[in-house]
Amino acid sequence: MPQPQHHARQNVGIGRKLSTAERIDAAVAKRGALLSGGHTDACRLFHGANDGIAGLVIEKLGELLIAQLYEGQFKLPEQSVRDACRPLLDSLGVRAVYKKFFPRDRSAARGAHLEALTDPTPWLGRPVEAETPVVENGARYWIRPYDGFSVGLFLEHRDNRARIRRLARGGRVLNAFAYTCGFSVSAALGGAREVVSVDVSRKYLEWGRRNFAANDLPIEAHRFISSDIFDYYKRATRQGLAFDLIVLDPPSFSRAKRPKRVFVLEDDLERLAAGAVALLVPGGHLLLATNQRGIARRRLEQGVLRAAGSRPVTVVERPKLPADFPGDSDYAKSILVRVG
């Protein structure tokens, strides 16, 4: 695969409003260091208003780009973004650009809108496979560019995945809300003795197994469990299990059918953290993260402190977002704590 190279368009005037193409060029140029060296080929190239265009996100994922347009925020003609992305096919060595339109209420998306999200025909370039690899810090992950709103890897957690990889050696790790098991792969690559991935979706856990296989990790050494996390807490307690490291990256809201249950992070934070703390060995670590803007980092810390009761809690780190998420510290928050 050719190494990413990008040359900003010339004749950017001084003292005038930059065009869409010029703003995208400037943002892409800033990300060059992230994509050099061949160890990572996935990053956020353009991050909304912080890069000069509200409601526009562009991500590079291996051999493709995903352009995300957010209803109510993005005000420009779509054609201006499409035209600005066309030269990136050659300069970044990508095969295709896919567009995803995000309505204000994703749960209400129906019909043609959902069909567009699963259409293999790209906005620009040549169609890519339904499943295609990306590389992050040397690890390989499968992403699916036209399988709904999400592609299978949340790039804001790149540095957190590296943290988990460093912390996991020799330990037993629980990854709750595992999704496609990105944190689980990182823990296994870091030398975890056992990684338990828990998610209600069998589809995502199977996707996670494929991510393990992509990194030549032995599936039989780890466990993939389809379960509601609170039910799993009970099962793990009955079995006398304990973990050295737990990752909690829950959704803001979810609705389960079996058992019939609604999860609201703001309301369930203490109960969620308490279940994790109860399964941690003394001196174990907990990474707790959220992308809900309405929940501050301080709220995460308070939730863990209350959940821990008499057990001492030390905040080890308040991670910053990666460099490709500039000027938007509230986009996603996480804390890394040690529980005595």
Contacts of 149 (CB under 8 A, 6+ apart): 100, 102, 106, 117
| pLDDT category of residue 333 using cuts at 50, 70 and 90 | very high
Give how far Cα 14 sits from Cα of 9, 10, 11, Å: 14, 12, 9
The conformation of residue 156, written as its DSSP 8-state character, comes to G
- Here the tokens at position 25 are 């060029």
> Looking at 261-265, 303-307, 315-319, which range is the least confident one?
261-265
Is residue 183 within a helix (H) or strand (E), and if so which, with residue range? Answer: helix 182-189
- Checking 46-55 for CB contacts under 8 A at 24+ apart, the result is 47/324, 47/325, 47/326, 47/327, 47/328, 48/73, 48/328, 49/73, 50/325, 50/326, 50/327, 50/328, 51/23, 51/24, 51/26, 51/27, 51/326, 52/18, 52/23, 52/26, 52/27, 53/20, 53/23, 53/24
What pLDDT is attached to residue 258? 65
Phi, psi of 68 (to 5 degrees): -110, 125
Mean pLDDT of 209-216: 98
What pLDDT is attached to residue 119? 95
Comparing 116 with 59, the larger pLDDT belongs to 59
Which CATH number is correct for 20-137, 3.40.50.300, 3.40.309.10, 1.10.10.10, 3.30.750.80? 3.30.750.80
Mean pLDDT of 104-131: 88
Contacts of 274 (CB under 8 A, 6+ apart): 307, 308, 309
Whether residue 65 has pLDDT greater than 80: yes
Residues written for the chain:
340
**pLDDT tens by residue, 146-200:** 999 999 999 999 999 999 999 999 999 999 999 999 999 999 999 999 999 999 9
pTM of the model: 0.92
Whether residue 305 has pLDDT greater than 50: yes
Q: For residues 149 and 102, give the distance between their C-alpha atoms in angstroms, rounded to a whole number.
A: 8
Q: Map out the domains of the chain as residue ranges.
A: 20-137, 154-339
Q: For residues 26 and 46, give the distance between their C-alpha atoms in angstroms, rounded to a whole number.
A: 9
Q: How many CA atoms lie within 13 A of 56 on its CB side?
A: 26
What pLDDT is attached to residue 259? 64
The CATH number given to 154-339 is 3.40.50.150
| pLDDT category of residue 262 using cuts at 50, 70 and 90 | confident
Q: For residues 151 and 248, give the distance between their C-alpha atoms in angstroms, rounded to a whole number.
A: 20
What pLDDT is attached to residue 29? 96
Q: Average model confidence (pLDDT) for the chain?
A: 93
Comparing 190 with 255, the larger pLDDT belongs to 190
What pLDDT is attached to residue 16? 74
| pLDDT category of residue 261 using cuts at 50, 70 and 90 | confident
DSSP string, 213-243: HHTT--GGGSEEEES-HHHHHHHHHHTT--E
Fold match flag (20-137 vs 154-339): no
- Here the tokens at position 119 are 């259409």
CB 67 within 8 A of CB 99: yes
Q: For residues 253 and 295, give the distance between their C-alpha atoms in angstroms, rounded to a whole number.
A: 13
What pLDDT is attached to residue 111? 74
Q: How many other CB atoms are found less than 10 A from the CB of residue 227? A: 16
Q: For residues 188 and 245, give the distance between their C-alpha atoms in angstroms, rounded to a whole number.
A: 12
| pLDDT category of residue 47 using cuts at 50, 70 and 90 | very high
Contacts of 66 (CB under 8 A, 6+ apart): 58, 59, 97, 98, 99, 100, 145, 151
Mean pLDDT of 111-128: 92
Task: Please give the share of the chain, as a percent, with pLDDT higher than 90.
Answer: 85
* Residue 20, Ramachandran bin (φ over 0: left; ψ between -120 and 50: alpha; else beta): alpha
Is residue 255 within a helix (H) or strand (E), and if so which, with residue range? Answer: strand 253-256
| pLDDT category of residue 22 using cuts at 50, 70 and 90 | very high
What pLDDT is attached to residue 122? 98
Whether residue 5 has pLDDT greater than 50: no
Sign of CA dihedral 226, 262, 335, 157: positive
> Looking at 4-18, 26-40, 46-60, 142-156, which range is the least confident one?
4-18
What pLDDT is attached to residue 252? 86
Q: For residues 167 and 161, give the distance between their C-alpha atoms in angstroms, rounded to a whole number.
A: 10
> Looking at 71-80, 99-108, 120-129, 286-295, which range is the least confident one?
99-108
Whether residue 210 has pLDDT greater than 60: yes
What pLDDT is attached to residue 175? 98
CB 290 within 8 A of CB 332: yes
What pLDDT is attached to residue 80? 97
